[in-house]
Amino acid sequence: MSSIPGSVDPNLLLGLDAPDDAAVYRITDEIAIVQTVDFFTPVVDDPFQWGAIAAANALSDIYAMGARPVTALNLVAWPKELDMDLLYEVLAGGAEKAREAGVSIVGGHTIDDEEPKYGMSVTGLVPPGAVVTSSGATAGLDVILTKPLGMGIVSTAIKAAKAPAELAAEATAIMSTLNRAASEAMVEVGVAAATDVTGFGLIGHFHQLLKASGVAGILHAERVPVLSGARELAAEGLVPGGTQRNRSHFSEVVSFPSSVDEVDRIVLFDAQTSGGLLIAVEPSKTQRLLDRLSERSVEATAIGRTVDGVPGSIEVE
């Protein structure tokens, strides 16, 4: 869309020319609406859980902006041959997540398709001055991640019927966890920049945040939380196509020391579904942020920092 002329409306605070998770439109000086849409094919076998994950993933872009989601529209593509009871389960999973988030589902649209797809268009609210963007980082900040990596690898293993049941259940629980608590902690403390880690993986989304902010980054590979068991599955070759594409696309922006092995690199590029928030925060506020996250049962880790350098470049240590 970058070559298509955008909007000239002065109330559009963040639109197509900003690399953010959602668009922001000012209604008054006190309130802006935040809009995003996301949908995808099944990532787990259980239809209810898939619905919950798709909803949590769609809501995440609102949370990444420091906003509060209020309404959602369902988006459904469904094969005629597939049982409608399964669709009921998908929608029930999405509805339960929406209820947990305090979001009203107010409509939607369904089409016939060869492959099932589900997601939501979500609208949120935020005071215009409180929007958290991906472009607000400066050099010298700590970088925090609020969910472990490896979800793409585990989803691929689930599809190949090679994921241990316990690991599949853990990944499902993490993917369906709302980023609400992480967002509320980040808003309470006040942070410089944030985004959520989804299809482009940790490296891709970190790169986008750094580039938008005009700074470089350091990533401490050994501190990055990874679902236990995901490395073993990656070593067996259970790597999603999206992860491989991320690797070829983002390899030029990242430098690895030889001590970071092949499997660890794959994990850092792994395409996530409903991943955690990636937050850049002043070092003086880091402990307070980690405390606020921990009080809300969010397992967050400081995984790197921002530095002066080629905008968007990442040095793995």
Q: How far is the CB of 40 from Co ion (least distance, A)?
A: 10
Judged by CB under 5 A, the residue of 14, 20, 21, 286 near Co ion is 21
Q: How far is the CB of 66 from Co ion (least distance, A)?
A: 13
Exposure letters 47-74 (e unless 16+ CB within 10 A, then b): bbbbbbbbbbbbbbbbbbbbbbbbbbbb
Residue 70 neighbours by CB under 8 Å, 6+ apart = 102, 103, 104, 123, 124, 125
Give the x/- contact pattern for Co ion in 196-235, rule: CB under 5 A: x---------------------------------------
Q: Find the helix or strand (DSSP H, E) in which 24 lies.
A: strand 23-26
Residue of closest CB approach to Co ion: 21
Q: How far is the CB of 196 from Co ion (least distance, A)?
A: 4
> 């470089």: which residue's tokens?
216
Assess 270 for contact with Co ion (CB under 5 A): no
The nearer residue to Co ion, 38 or 142, going by C-beta atoms, is 38
> 């309470």: which residue's tokens?
188
Q: Where are the alpha helices (DSSP H) in 9-67?
A: 47-64
- For residues 116 and 40, give the distance between their C-alpha atoms in angstroms, rounded to a whole number: 8
Judged by CB under 5 A, the residue of 38, 142, 170, 270 near Co ion is 38
Pick the piece of the chain touching Co ion (CB under 5 A) from 60-68, 112-120, 156-164, 306-314.
Answer: 60-68
Pick the piece of the chain touching Co ion (CB under 5 A) from 170-178, 190-198, 273-281, 283-291.
Answer: 190-198
Q: How far is the CB of 275 from Co ion (least distance, A)?
A: 9
The nearer residue to Co ion, 62 or 192, going by C-beta atoms, is 62
Q: Find the helix or strand (DSSP H, E) in which 221 lies.
A: none
100 three-state secondary structure: helix
**Contact footprint for Co ion (CB under 5 A):** 21, 38, 61, 196
